[in-house]
């Protein structure tokens, strides 16, 4: 367990992520996912991250259903984190206006089946809404007991500074993995200075670092990766060759390449939590083990050498894949 920055929340270093349950990653079996979520709880994972924008509440509903017994019998043992401020089919894709956030919180409470949310995060910065309005609205929701802590996601330093001027940013969720290190330059140092809890999402590079992909891997048409340059063509093949080298390195240290990837993320100064999405119990079991794996300074240096020629895999935004 670790303390999630200035929020004071006591959380597992692995969070169970649910982006993969919102319809952007192809089809899946509900019953298998419910079993996987329950297995994560059994393993001591107490932080579960979801979002209103993952299938318009589909992910939240599935998570709430999977944890229903635990939420009723021991609510304090679970830290529920969700996100709002995204409306893919609305007049504004990014909508952090107070009215939409208030509506979103009520929707998330219903979908999750709870009367408060432990951590509510603004999913993406909204350039058309002043930070003062967003931050003030979220503080009002804290005062009303609807949410307990406030965080943001995908914010840069300028966004963080503007929000911070109104009320503290307690947590920050950002992408970080071996093929995406942008936050290391300015964002992580900023978060460390202010004791902002950092949750790193996509530690497995949206699947690149699982070790399961090959040059012949193809994605369902409704999977966002089917439209991403990072998962097609020469860039994809090149990065898979790097993954093969990382896998050989990991095997020499009695771990899988996926465990190496998660351990690397958790080894970065200022990162509190790695958010790992899984549809099968074996995958979350392996990720949970990665939280206890230590990488030496020599290991980290060698990993940097192995990935020096990688092509960045930047993921997806509300407007589409990068």
Residues taking part in catalysis: 54
Pairwise CA distance, residues 89 & 119, whole Å: 25
Distance of CA 81 to the CA centre of its chain: 10
Within 144-232, residue ranges assigned H as helices are 157-164, 187-194
Pairwise CA distance, residues 39 & 241, whole Å: 33
Distance of CA 17 to the CA centre of its chain: 6
CA dihedral of 9, 77, 57, 287, whole degrees rounded to 10: 80
CA dihedral of 121, 122, 123, 124, whole degrees rounded to 10: -150
Cα–Cα nearest to 295, from 253, 245, 243, 246: 253
Provide the total of helices (H) and of strands (E) in the chain, helices listed first.
11, 12
- DSSP 3-state helix, strand, coil percentages of the chain (rounded to 5)? 45, 15, 40
Pairwise CA distance, residues 290 & 260, whole Å: 7
Residues 63 and 93 sit within 8 Å (Cβ to Cβ): no
β-bridge partners, 152: 122, 172
Cα–Cα nearest to 291, from 246, 248, 261: 261
Pairwise CA distance, residues 173 & 317, whole Å: 14
Residues 274 and 4 sit within 8 Å (Cβ to Cβ): no
Phi and psi of 180, rounded to 5°? -150, 100
Pairwise CA distance, residues 291 & 203, whole Å: 12
């Amino acid at each position: 367990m670790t303390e999630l920055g200035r929020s004071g929340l006591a959380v597992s270093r692995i969070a169970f992520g649910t982006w993969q349950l919102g319809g952007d990653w192809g089809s899946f079996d509900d019953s298998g996912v419910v079993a996987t979520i329950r297995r994560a709880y059994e393993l001591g994972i107490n932080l579960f991250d979801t979002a209103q924008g993952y299938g318009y509440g589909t992910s939240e509903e599935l998570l709430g259903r999977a944890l229903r017994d635990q939420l009723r019998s021991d609510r304090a043992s679970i830290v529920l984190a969700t996100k709002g401020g995204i409306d893919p089919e609305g007049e504004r894709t990014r909508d952090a206006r107070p009215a939409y956030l208030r509506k979103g919180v009520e929707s998330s409470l219903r979908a999750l089946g709870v009367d408060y949310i432990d951590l509510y995060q603004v999913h993406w910065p909204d350039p058309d809404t002043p930070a003062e309005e967003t931050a003030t609205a979220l503080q009002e929701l804290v005062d009303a007991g609807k949410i307990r802590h406030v965080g943001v996601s995908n914010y840069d330093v300028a966004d963080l500074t503007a929000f911070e001027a109104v009320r503290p940013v307690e947590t920050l969720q950002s992408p970080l993995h071996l093929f995406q290190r942008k936050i290391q330059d300015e964002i992580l140092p900023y978060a460390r200075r202010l004791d902002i809890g950092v949750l790193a999402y996509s530690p497995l590079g949206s699947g690149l670092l699982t070790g399961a992909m090959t040059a012949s891997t193809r994605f369902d048409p409704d999977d966002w990766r089917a439209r991403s340059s990072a998962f097609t063509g020469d860039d994809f093949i090149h990065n898979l060759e790097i993954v093969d080298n990382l896998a050989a390195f990991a095997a020499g240290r009695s771990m899988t390449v996926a465990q190496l990837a998660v351990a690397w993320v958790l080894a970065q100064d200022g990162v509190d939590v790695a958010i790992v999405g899984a549809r099968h119990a074996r995958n979350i079991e392996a990720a949970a083990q990665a939280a206890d794996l230590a990488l030496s300074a020599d290991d980290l240096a060698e990993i940097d050498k192995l990935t020096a020629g990688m092509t960045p895999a930047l993921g997806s935004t509300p407007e589409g894949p990068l």
